[in-house]
Amino acid sequence: MTDTPTTHVVFLLFSGITQLDFTAPAQALSRMPGAVIAGVAAALDPIPTDSGFAIVPTHDFASAPQADILCVPGGHGVADALGDTATIDFIARQSENALWVTSVCTGAFLLGRAGLLAGKRATTHWAYTHLLPLVGAEPVKGRVVEDGNVVTSGGVTSGLDFALTLIARLRGDAVAQAIQLAIEYDPAPPFPGGHPDRAPKAITAGLKEHVYDAAAARMEAALSSA
């Protein structure tokens, strides 16, 4: 019998992270045979999330294992992280030997700042896709977009789709399907409006006005700075 290879999955953590961008794919990937999960931040202090609680990293940048799968989640803290040299250097350094380089939501822009999306097809949260060309990426509408060993996923809940897609690539469809069943990922939302293509126009307009117009402008400013 062939032993299951160890797969180191390294998630970048930073202040202002959207916790589900991290915890959803981490939950699925942690069940993949051979997976070892690491949550890595600049220091070992608790990381404030956007949900009112903190996450404690398992490693700092200096002690992090080399990733087989590098995953960069998103969140409103991305705009600040874009200007943090240590964070961008960590992404670039890890990506050199990672088998897969991935992101959830606006984590795509951190990959982009590290030079990893130039000429790549990519996706991100729907409110920010128009900014992907600022990091050299070709925007693609989709919950999961693969371009070589770079996998980007859309907003928040897309992280589960990304994780199951990658598990199928690494361990086969049956393993991915078993994990999907184990976590009962069988979406049946009460409303059909999880994307602007399907949501009522008034709901989309209101959310953009109250949240995402300003958030996207802040992201654009951060991306446009040196």
The Cα 43–Cα 11 span in angstroms is: 14
Cβ-contact 153, 144 below 8 angstroms: yes
DSSP assignments along 83-113, one per residue: T-HHHHHHHHHHHTT-SEEEEETTHHHHHHH
What local confidence, expressed as pLDDT, does residue 177 receive? 98
Per-residue pLDDT of the chain (226 residues; tens, 9 = 90+): 468 999 999 999 999 999 999 999 999 999 999 999 999 999 999 999 999 999 999 999 999 999 999 999 999 999 999 999 999 999 999 999 999 999 999 999 999 999 999 999 999 999 999 999 999 999 999 999 999 999 999 999 999 999 999 999 999 999 999 999 999 999 999 998 999 999 999 999 999 999 999 999 999 999 998 6
**Where does 7-190 sit in CATH, by number?**
3.40.50.880
Burial of 121 (0-12, 13-18, 19+ CB in 10 A): middle
Give strand pairing partners of 57.
Answer: none
Model pTM score: 0.96
Domain boundaries, the chain: 7-190
Catalytic residues: 105
